Chain A
C-alpha cells in the first residue's frame, strides 16, 4: 500500500500553479469540444495528443484526462439547449434536458446536469483510486500465462460488449492484431509487414493511426451528415427569475445521482461497454424506480441527473482495467495508452512499481480536474450556451486542418500525411459499416503486450498445454473466454432467428 507521504506529495504536485493551469486548459478545451455538436471526446484527444509532445509526461496525461472529463460534462450543454448531444452518451440527457429547456428552465437543467456530472465524476474517481492500487498490487504477481489469458479474454469481451455485431467486433479485433504486429519482431529481429518503409520499423505510428481513424474519418462522416441536417437553433438562456436551481430541488436529485454513479462506475469498470450504455441504463433505472415515471421524457430533473451522473462516472471507472491491468477498456483509455507510450511510460500495474509517484499525481490531478470542471461549468454557463451556435461548416474545415497540422508538426512529413489519409479511409469504413472501433483500437494497442506474454508462455511451458492446470487464474480466464465465445455465438444465433421470424 502507498505511504501517506507519497499521497500528500502527489497532491502537492497536482496543486502547483503549473499543474492546475494544465488541467484547467484540458478541462476548458474539453468543455468547448463537448459543447460543439459534431466534435467528440475521441476526436479531441486524438488531435490534442500532438500538443502534449512538449509537455512533461504528467502534464500531458493530466491535460488529456482533463480534456476527457471536460468533454463529458460539456456535451450536456448542447444536449440540453440544442437537443443534439455533443457526445453519443449524452443522448439520454436530451430526453429530459431539452423539454426542460423548452419549458423555460434551461439554466436549471444545465445546473442539474453540471452538478450530476461533477458528483458522478468525483465519486467514480475516488472509487478508481480506492480500487486500482490493491488491484494493481495483485496484478503485479501475475505471470505471462495469466496476462496472456486475461488479454485474450478482454479482447473477446470487448468485441462482444462494444455494441453492434459480435462477428464485426471480432473481425475488427483481428484487423487491430494484424496492425499491432507491424514492425521489428522483438525475438528474431525480422521485419514484419513494413514493405521496406523505415518509418514502420517501430510499428505503425500511433499518432497518424488515431488521428486518421478517429478524427479525420469522423469529419468525413460529419460532412456526409451535414449535407442532410444543417443544424438547428439552440434555446437561449433568458433572465427568467424562476429559472434557477434551488438547494431543495438539487437535494431531491441526490439519491438518483448516487444510484446512477454506481451504475456508471460498474459499467465503466467493464471493458468495452462505454458511457452510452451507462447513461441509458441509469436513465432506465431512474425512470423505473421513480414515483412518477410518466414525467420522464417531459423535463424531469432526475432524468438529466441520472444520465449525466452515469455518463461522467463511466470515464474514471474505465481507467480501472487500464491502470490495474494495462487493458484499455474504452477508446479514450486506448488513446491515453498512446499518450503514455509517446512519453515512454508503460501503463498498467507496472506503473505502481516503476512510477508510483506519477500514478498518485495523476489520481490527484483527476480529483483536481473534477473540481475545476465544476468551476468552469458554473461560471462559463452563459459562454458555453453561446458556443453551441458555432456552425458545423466552420468546425469541420478547422478540425480537418488540425488533423493535418498535428501530423506535420510532429515531423511525420508526406509519409505521415498519407498514412493519416489511409487510416481515415479505413476509419470511415469502420464507422459506416458499424465495425467495433473500440475493439480495433484496443487490439492494436495490446497486441505487443499479448505477443510478448504469449511468447514467454510458449517458451516457459515448452509447448505443454497441461501447464495451465497448475495456473488456476490463467485456466479460469481460458475457460471464461471459451464460455464467453459460446455465449456470444449463441446470442448472435438467437438474434438472427428472432429477426428471421419477424421478417417472415
Chain B
C-alpha cells in the first residue's frame, strides 16, 4: 500500500514535470527553433509538434489519474525525501561534472587515475594496491589505445 502510494506520488510529479516540459516545447521551443520554410510535404515542425502533443496528453493523463488516486486514498501529494537521500543520489553527478569541467583543460588520460582511484576510495575500498591497480590499468589501456593503436595522441 505504501509502495503504491509512493509510486502514485512519483507518477504525479513526473507526469507534471513532463507536462510542463511538453508545454514549454509546444509554446516556445518548437515554434521558435523547430525550423521554418516552404514545404510541399510536411512542415519541418510537424513531427516534433506531434511528438510534443503525445507527450503532453499522456503525461497530463498520468498526472491526473495519479492525482485522483492520491486524493481518494487521502495520501499527501508531496513528501520530501530525506536530505541524506538527495545527497546520496546527487553527489555522483557532481563528481562526474567536476571531471568533465577539468577535462576541458587537462587531457582525460591524465585525469583518469584520479577519476577512477578517488571514486574507488570513496566507495569504501581501503587496500592501496587495489586502488592503485584500479586506477592504473584503465589509464594505461586508454594511453595504449589512443597513442599507440589509434595514433591520435593523448586525449
Contacts and interface: CB of A to CB of B under 8 A. Distances in A.
Decide if A and B are genuine partners.
Answer: yes
A63 to B, nearest CB: 15
Nearest to B65: A496
A458 B25 contact: no
Given A171-B18, A171-B55, A394-B130, A458 B47 contact: no
- Chain A at the B interface: mostly helix, strand, loop or mixed? helix
Contacts of B11: 165, 168, 433
- Interface size classification for chain A: 35 or more
B73 A503 contact: yes
Interface in B34-89: 34-42, 44-45, 47-48, 50-55, 58-59, 61-62, 65, 69, 72-73, 88-89
Interface in A243-297: none
Contacts of A226: 123
Given A174-B55, A397-B115, A421 B96 contact: yes
Interface stretch (A10-18, A319-327, A403-411): A403-411
A34 B21 CA distance: 36
Contact of B44 (A190, A216, A424): A190
Interface string A417-431: 110010011000100
Contact of A414 (B88, B103, B119): B103
A429 B90 CA distance: 12
Contacts of B73: 503
Nearest to B22: A174
What does DSSP make chain B's interface, helix, strand, loop or mixed? helix
A404 B99 contact: yes
Contact of B59 (A171, A223, A503): A171
B103 A409 contact: no
Contacts of B42: 187, 451, 454-455, 458
A191 interface: yes
Contacts, number: 196
Interface string B10-39: 110011001000100100011001111111
Given A397-B119, A400-B96, A174 B4 contact: no
Contacts of B142: 405, 409
B97 A192 contact: no
A192 B48 contact: yes
A195 interface: yes
B14 A421 contact: no
A141 interface: no
Contacts of A465: none
Given A174-B22, A224-B88, A503-B72, A188 B39 contact: yes
Given A171-B18, A178-B48, 5 more contacts: A185-B39, A404-B99, A425-B93, A433-B14, A458-B41
5 contacts: A177-B50, A226-B123, A398-B138, A404-B108, A447-B47
Interface of B: 1, 4, 10-11, 14-15, 18, 22, 25, 29-30, 33-42, 44-45, 47-48, 50-55, 58-59, 61-62, 65, 69, 72-73, 88-89, 92-93, 96-97, 99-100, 103-104, 108, 112, 115-117, 119-120, 123-125, 130, 134, 138, 142, 145-146, 150, 152, 155
